[in-house]
Amino acid sequence: MTEIAMMAAGDHELSVALDGTGPAVMLLHGIGGTSAVYQGQAAALAAARARVIRPDFAGAGRSPLGRSRITVDSHAADAIEILAGLNIDQVLMVGHSMGGLVARTIAATRPDLVSRLVLLGAVSPPTPAAAQSIRNRAGRIRELGSAVVADEILEASVSAETRRLRPEVTAFIRHLICGQDAAGYAANNEALAEATEPGEIPAGLPMTLVAGEQDRLSPPELSVRIAAGHEGRQVVVIPGIGHWIPLEASSQVASLLISSLDGS
pLDDT digits over 27-45, tens only?
999 999 999 999 999 999 9
Question: For residue 237, which phi and psi values (nearest 5 degrees)?
Answer: -110, 125
Residue 209 CA to residue 204 CA, distance in Å, equals 15
Query: What residue segments make up the domains of the chain, in order of their start?
Result: 3-125+198-261
CA-wise closest residue to 189 among 32, 21, 68: 32
Sequential pLDDT tens for the chain (264 residues): 899 999 999 889 999 999 999 999 999 999 999 999 999 999 999 999 999 999 999 999 999 998 778 999 999 999 999 999 999 999 999 999 999 999 999 999 999 999 999 999 999 999 999 999 999 999 999 999 999 999 999 999 999 999 999 999 999 999 999 999 999 999 999 999 999 999 899 988 999 999 999 999 999 999 999 998 787 789 999 999 999 999 999 999 999 999 998 876
Report field, pTM of the whole predicted structure over 0.85: yes
* Amino acid found at 176: L
Which residues make Cβ contacts (< 8 Å) with residue 139, sequence separation at least 6? Answer: 186
Task: Encode pLDDT of 149-208 as tens digits.
Answer: 999 999 999 999 999 999 999 999 999 999 999 999 999 999 999 999 998 999 889 999
Percent of the chain surpassing pLDDT 90: 91
**Whole-angstrom Cα distance, residue 37 to residue 158?**
14
| Whether domain 3-125+198-261 has CATH 3.40.50.1820 | yes
